[in-house]
């Protein structure tokens, strides 16, 4: 099975503009819930437009509240107009889904230092994140920003790494800055999940194993059509909780599934097994966001939802990490 290669996307910063400082007034929420009606469903079925540069603009916020806006230009050699092979994705009409028994399980202490579990981190605002380089954490935007302002806890943002022991504890590390897509800020509620991701840069490099990210592939290129993620679910305090399930539906921006999750798991790195160089490798292809009610043939369906790392989002995150075009890692 061949993995779909994302198009080459060239990014460049146009302008860097100062913004008024944030007052960190928003009330944080560990879980995002949205409703996707007929208009939203139609929008989700459209391919990702490569020509809209503003979608890659982003804000950088620092602990003192200062903010910078970076506007971007994007060029796709060959003139790709959108994601091929994923047009007009439609939800199948089916019987009402019952999630069934809780199939999550807590990772036991001897395995907390092992890959990929050691890459999961606790975000001090009450969410989960995933270490994607030795000093960058990917998490959900709603854990940091409510769409209007940064949450109160983002002023002194930290991430916690599990330290296994008789009673596992967290080693907290300060965040240097946060980058968040402008497409998240002020977005209509029904579309907000599409850009519910953010990147945290830590003050110093960490010795923990991290996961590589990849552009989310067509569903047929995902091993078993399954996704996996580990998070700090609120109903199991002090434990790292793992789950895995099949993807039910996939649109341009979102992965719909019925993996069991509780508040606190938002921001978890959603990964799958992708074929690369003749081997299957675990790669983060999305960020767990929360719950969404989707209107299917006039009937509501409930899903748990992850944001897909589309080729544009992948290029944007890699630019945040390396300030250059190309992949995020030397592979």
pLDDT tens for residues 124-146?
A: 999 999 999 999 999 999 999 99
Note the pLDDT of residue 91: 55
Retrieve residue 247's tokens.
Answer: 């993807």
The one-character DSSP state at 145 is: B
Q: What is the mean pLDDT of residues 73-99?
A: 55
Q: Please state, rounded to an integer, the average pLDDT across all residues of the chain.
A: 86
Check: pTM over 0.85? Answer yes or no.
Answer: yes
Please check whether residue 139 is in contact with residue 287, taking contact to mean a CB–CB distance below 8 angstroms.
yes
Task: Give the architecture-level CATH label for domain 10-81+103-322.
Answer: Beta Barrel (2.40)
Q: What contacts 5, CB < 8 A, 6 or more positions away?
A: none
Note the pLDDT of residue 90: 56
Range with lowest mean pLDDT among 49-53, 91-95, 192-196, 247-251: 91-95
The verdict on whether omega for the bond into residue 116 sits within 30 degrees of 0, i.e. cis, is yes
Retrieve residue 23's tokens.
Answer: 């007052």
pLDDT, one tens digit per residue, over 236-294 is 998 999 999 999 999 999 999 999 999 999 999 999 999 988 899 999 999 999 988 88
The one-character DSSP state at 26 is: B
Closest Cα to residue 121, out of 152, 156, 163? 163
Higher pLDDT, 192 or 131: 131
Please check whether residue 227 is in contact with residue 257, taking contact to mean a CB–CB distance below 8 angstroms.
yes
């Amino acid at each position: 099975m061949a993995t779909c290669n994302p198009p080459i996307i060239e990014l460049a910063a146009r302008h860097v503009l100062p913004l008024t400082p944030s007052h960190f007034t928003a009330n944080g929420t560990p879980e995002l819930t949205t409703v996707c009606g007929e208009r939203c469903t139609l929008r989700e079925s459209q391919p990702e437009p490569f020509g809209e540069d503003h979608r890659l603009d982003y804000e950088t916020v620092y602990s003192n509240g200062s903010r910078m806006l970076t506007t971007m230009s994007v060029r796709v050699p060959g003139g790709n107009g959108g994601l091929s092979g994923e047009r007009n994705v439609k939800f199948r009409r089916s019987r009402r889904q019952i999630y069934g028994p809780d199939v999550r399980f807590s990772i036991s202490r001897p395995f907390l230092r092992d890959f990929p579990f050691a890459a999961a981190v606790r975000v001090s605002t009450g969410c989960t994140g995933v270490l994607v380089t030795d000093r960058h954490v990917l998490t959900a935007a709603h854990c940091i920003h409510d769409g209007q302002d940064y949450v109160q806890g983002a002023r002194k943002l930290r991430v916690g790494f599990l330290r296994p022991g008789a009673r596992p504890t967290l080693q907290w590390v300060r965040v240097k800055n946060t980058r968040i897509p402008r497409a998240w800020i002020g977005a209509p509620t029904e579309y907000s999940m599409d850009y519910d991701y953010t990147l945290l840069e830590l003050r110093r490099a960490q010795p923990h194993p991290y996961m590589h990210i990849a552009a989310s592939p067509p569903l047929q290129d995902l091993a078993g059509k399954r996704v996996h993620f580990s998070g700090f679910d609120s109903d199991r305090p002090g434990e790292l909780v793992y789950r895995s399930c099949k993807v039910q539906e996939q649109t341009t921006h979102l992965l719909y599934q019925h993996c069991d999750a509780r508040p606190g798991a938002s921001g978890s790195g959603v990964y799958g097994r992708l074929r690369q160089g003749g081997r299957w490798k675990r790669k983060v292809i999305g960020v767990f966001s929360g719950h969404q009610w989707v209107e299917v043939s006039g009937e509501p369906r409930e899903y748990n939802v992850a944001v897909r790392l589309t080729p544009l989002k992948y290029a944007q995150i890699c630019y945040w990490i390396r300030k250059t075009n190309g992949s995020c890692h030397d592979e």
